[in-house]
A and B are shown apart, each in its own frame.
Chain A
Amino acid sequence: MNQHHFAFFDEGSKKEIRRTILKAVAIPGYQVPFSSREMPIARGWGTGGLQITLSIIGREDCLKVIDQGSDESVNAVSIKKLVHNTTSVEITERTQEATIIQSRHRIPEIPLQGGQILVLQVPTPEPLRQVEPREYMTKILHSEEEYSGAWLQLFEQIMKYGRTATGADHPVYVNSRYVMAPSPIPRFDNVKMNESDALILLGAGREKKIYAIPPYTDVQSLAFEDYPFAVEEFSGKSCRFCGATDVFLDEVLDSATGDVHYQCNDTSYCLEQLNSHEKAKEESSYA
């Protein structure tokens, strides 16, 4: 482990990962293999995303890291520490300030902007893996655009549950060519990938794959004609702290009273909403 390199990796490693990223951007939704490196955090804890972040970050960048909507989880904190210790770049919790946002399981509520890069951590990059265990076969299926297997999985869910039951990681068609696993984000976030202003990079460390959605790419969630794609339903519910209604809400059970509450999953968004409410209240009381 060399502490003298900027962003942990030597220049050669960073260049190689950047080349992989360029190829991924050139072929939206296509999984590009890369030689995933050993990292001082365990594989399966975001090493794929981290390798992308470290190879694209520059001194003037500002980084935000979230894990399941939280900036303060142990995992997010240890990734931030590693990046900060080796780059000294600025760290933020505000989505709109960040130039790079590394995330696991969520796309932030605040709409991403042009120039920003979202880096998603991916555990299982292959959307066809469940129907085809062999890697050389899934490669052929992608090359022939043969996605019956992905559709079949959705069909089975409808047979079993009466609807497509993908809790997360609902497959998407990218640029009308490749079917892609969007990583375990809720369906609520799938729609944010379509025509995104920001560049989206996805990294799977254990599976050694990088793939990408360049800005303004068509991204459609797979759905049958008579079972249209639907995001998680929160109608009539709002965040118990900030009152937000058009966001992804977590359900929390109050074990004392048995009541069910809802709150923003994206905690920094929630905090910001609260602050701006406070500010508005103050301003109106001064007026």
Chain B
Amino acid sequence: MHNDAILSVKNLEKQFGPGCSTCHNESTRKLEKNYCPQCGTVYACRNISFNLFPGEILGIVGESGSGKSTLMQCLYFDEAATSGELILNNQEFQEENVLELSSQQKRYIRNYHFGMVYQNPLKGLKMDFSAMGNIAEKLIAAGGRNVAEMESIGKTLLEKVHIPLFRMKEEPKRFSGGMQQRVQIAKALSNNPPILFLDEVTTGLDLSVQASVLDLIKTIQRELGISMIVVSHDLAVIRMLADRTLVMLNGEIIEEGLTDQILEDPQNPYTQQLVYSLL
């Protein structure tokens, strides 16, 4: 592990399907985009390695199907990675590959060290529970047993994400898409996680709403110094938020570097295409 990194990923692989004799071996593998035409196995993440440093926002950009969400879900333990390592700079799990811990220990890391904002708010929120209840869910999972304390944390967070407090007992299903993402962000922040994963937080939102959610993320990062991984297929979002960026294609990282550098002087032909189409 890189000494300063707060999170390190090494050779992470995620495949959907059992594979066949041709695709099992990397050297004989002949994939079409990310899947084996012989057996249909999808290689959604291939040999993914990177570091996340304290206080930085790391962007991951790539077209639809390139494996961004799958990677996030492997890091957040929603999906079991096929192989690879995830190492946290954390006293309790020093030098351990946390992907190999028991599901109880993974749950613990999720509840105490990670926050997640899903691409689809249906995945991150209980739509029939109050906004406050949704935030409390994370606090309860992290051992919260005092209603007044949890309520006061929830109120502070809802204010931070600009949800008027008179709506805190309403169910997110009655909220707009932008508000739902804000509740997700409040929930993800509730246990003060050192690491936050954000998957396409602004996709599907109106431009003006997008801008305010992005603003919010910037502010939170500045104020709380949380390390974040921000996934988007939209380079404009990445440009606004990310200090460094990884470019993914067909499950692989094809380019990485400072966001400014990638945008000004892309090396990989695919990235060049991506950047020039944005201009």
Whether the pair B169, A144 counts as a contact (CB closer than 8 A) is no
Complex Cα distance A152/B146, Å? 12
Which B residue sits closest to A149, measured CB to CB?
B137
A224 at the interface (CB under 8 A from B): yes
Q: In residues 130-152 of chain A, which contact B (Cβ within 8 Å)?
A: 131, 140, 144-146, 148, 151-152
Whether the pair B146, A224 counts as a contact (CB closer than 8 A) is yes
A231 at the interface (CB under 8 A from B): no
A254 at the interface (CB under 8 A from B): no
Given contacts A158-B147, A225-B146, A226-B148, contact A152 B133 (CB under 8 A): yes
Q: Which of B103, B137, B148, B169 contacts A152 (CB 8 A)?
A: B137
Chain A residues near B148 (CB, 8 Å)?
226
Given contacts A155-B136, A226-B146, contact A146 B169 (CB under 8 A): no
For chain A, the count of residues having a C-beta within 8 Å of the partner chain is 17
B24 at the interface (CB under 8 A from A): no
Whether the pair A225, B145 counts as a contact (CB closer than 8 A) is yes
Whether the pair B147, A144 counts as a contact (CB closer than 8 A) is no
For chain B, the count of residues having a C-beta within 8 Å of the partner chain is 18
Whether the pair B130, A148 counts as a contact (CB closer than 8 A) is no
Given contacts A148-B137, A151-B140, A152-B136, contact A224 B130 (CB under 8 A): no
Whether the pair B107, A144 counts as a contact (CB closer than 8 A) is yes
Whether the pair A144, B103 counts as a contact (CB closer than 8 A) is yes
Whether the pair B133, A155 counts as a contact (CB closer than 8 A) is yes
Which B residue sits closest to A140, measured CB to CB?
B103
Complex Cα distance A51/B107, Å? 38
Chain A residues near B104 (CB, 8 Å)?
144-146
Whether the pair B146, A159 counts as a contact (CB closer than 8 A) is no
Chain A residues near B129 (CB, 8 Å)?
152, 156
What residues make up the interface of B, taking CB atoms closer than 8 Å to A? 103-104, 107, 126, 129-130, 132-133, 136-137, 140-141, 145-148, 150, 169
Top 5 closest pairs, chain A to chain B, by CB: A148-B141, A225-B146, A156-B133, A151-B140, A148-B140
